[in-house]
């Protein structure tokens, strides 16, 4: 049994996966890797301290992986992906992700360990990432709240 934090990386691009693995191993983490969502779901267990997840996987989307993980685990989930649209970020948080880091080049990946350290140390229960509030479009859509007075 290792005293190091264990990270599972689910990323189909071998070059990116290797780069992320090297970054985290150099920071002292134990790293487990999967190239598909299905393989990642099989490797995830109670010893996993953090899941780093890509969105565009060859078999199932990272959003679906995240939703499946949330059915049985509160492990912190960091989306690490090139998909930078706001709608992708919202979908990631709604699927159960705790943080979302985008990268354009491999140099951007150097920021990943700092974000993960925060997830591991922040003390928030996993799965309680950013809250999304959807406000009604018109005032008549706001439900009335009776006053007890």
Q: Contact 99/89 with Cβ under 8 angstroms?
A: no
Taking only the tens place, the pLDDT of each residue in 101-126 is: 887 555 555 555 555 555 555 444 44
Q: What is the CATH number of domain 6-141?
A: 3.40.50.2300
- DSSP letters of 26-55? HTT-EEEEESSHHHHHHH--TT--EEEE-S
- Residue 85 CA to residue 149 CA, distance in Å, equals 46
Taking only the tens place, the pLDDT of each residue in 29-62 is: 999 999 999 999 999 999 999 999 999 999 999 9
- Residue 14 CA to residue 127 CA, distance in Å, equals 27
Q: What is the predicted pLDDT for the residue at 129?
A: 42
State the pTM of this model. Answer: 0.72
Q: What are phi and psi of 99, to 5 degrees?
A: -155, 165
- DSSP letters of 95-107? HT-SEEEE-SSGG
| Residues in a beta bridge with 99 | 78
């Amino acid at each position: 049994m290792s005293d190091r934090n264990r990270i599972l990386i689910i990323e189909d691009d071998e070059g990116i996966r290797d780069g992320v693995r090297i970054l985290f191993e150099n920071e002292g983490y134990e790293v487990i890797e999967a190239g598909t969502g299905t393989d990642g779901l099989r490797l995830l267990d109670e010893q996993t301290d953090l899941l780093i997840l890509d969105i565009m996987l060859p078999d199932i989307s990272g959003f679906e992986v995240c939703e499946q993980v949330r059915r049985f685990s509160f492990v912190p989930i960091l989306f690490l992906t090139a998909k930078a649209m706001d709608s992708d970020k919202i979908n990631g948080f709604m699927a159960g992700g705790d943080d979302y880091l985008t990268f354009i080049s491999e140099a951007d990946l150097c920021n990943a360990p700092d974000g993960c350290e925060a997830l591991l140390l922040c003390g928030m229960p996993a799965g309680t990432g950013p809250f999304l509030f959807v406000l009604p479009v018109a005032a008549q859509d706001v439900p009335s709240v009776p006053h007890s007075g």
